[in-house]
Amino acid sequence: MDRKLNSLIFDFMKRDHREDSKRLNQKLSSSNDAGLVHKMPPIPFTGNIESMEKGNCVCLLGINPLWPAPGKIAHEIELKPAIDLIRKLHLGDKKSFDDYLATRLSYFYSGIANWRHFDKVGIGYSEHFFNGVDKRSVWNKNAFAMDVIPYFSRDATSLDRNRIVEQVSEDESLIQYQRILSSIISETEPLILHLNGSHAIQVVEKLYCEKPLTRQGAFGSQFGLRFGEAIINEIKVKVFAHNQFGYGRYNPTKKHWPEFARLWQNWINRK
């Protein structure tokens, strides 16, 4: 991680995340409550961005981190330690920042990963885009994750798409976070920017695409499958996007990966 990116993340994590989340709760929801968790600091990235194969990796971009239900082990092994480290950072302990970064870099091999979430995409990456890896080892050198909104909530349904698209270029905390995203893209130069959900699609189209992403036939109509290109920090990256993985009529599941990958390869061959 270069000094500029380290400094960007340091400054972002030094922000008053309670005040930021309270303000964004009003700005990002028509009900004035987007459900963001005030006590939890935001997540700048997930995965070992330092070990990525430059030009041969994928950046997964989702909506926002999920706040686990009470009693889930993530509270003890990931969230409480993160809260404590950032609290110490705010008290002047700079070593706690290095310790916090280490937890984000080691996320996928330190026993804290939420595999129920990441296996859905890891299986697609390993079977259709990268050789010699499985659905979990692909995260070692070929995949990492970020979100449009880096603040936690229990339910993303209260996050208003249009308000997010507006605020990512107006609210100072989200502007700072976009600088981190742009810097990480510059460092890793991903082969694919994978947008999981319409919130990410609309934000990326607004900020980074010269023209809208192109819907892909019947899957484009039902699941929002679309492809295209974005330019982030002068880095051109191919974009693979769809509605959020789930179990509704318009939400794809892991069973759709083979057809998605086939359509992607056809699109690449036509480029």
pLDDT for 225-234, tens place per residue?
A: 999 999 999 9
248: confidence class by pLDDT, cuts 50, 70, 90: confident
Residue ranges of domains in the chain, CATH in brackets: 3-270 (3.40.470.10)
Q: Minimum mean pLDDT among 73-82, 211-220, 240-249: which range?
A: 240-249
Closest by CA to 179, choosing from 6, 22, 46, 59, is 6
For the chain, what is the largest distance between any 2 Cα atoms, rounded to a whole number of angstroms? 55
Closest by CA to 36, choosing from 155, 180, 147, is 155
CA 242 and chain centroid, separation: 14
In Å, what is the CA distance from 167 to each residue of 12, 40, 230? 17, 20, 20
Flag whether pLDDT at 271 surpasses 90: no
Q: What is the reported pLDDT for 195?
A: 98
Q: What is the reported pLDDT for 32?
A: 86
The tokens for 11 are 């400054």
Q: What is the reported pLDDT for 47?
A: 98
214: which strand partners?
227
**Other residues' Cβ atoms within 10 Å of the Cβ of residue 137:** 16
Give the separation between CA 214 and CA 239, rounded to whole angstroms. Answer: 10
Closest by CA to 195, choosing from 62, 28, 44, is 62
157: confidence class by pLDDT, cuts 50, 70, 90: confident
- pTM as predicted: 0.95
Averaged pLDDT score across all residues of the chain: 95
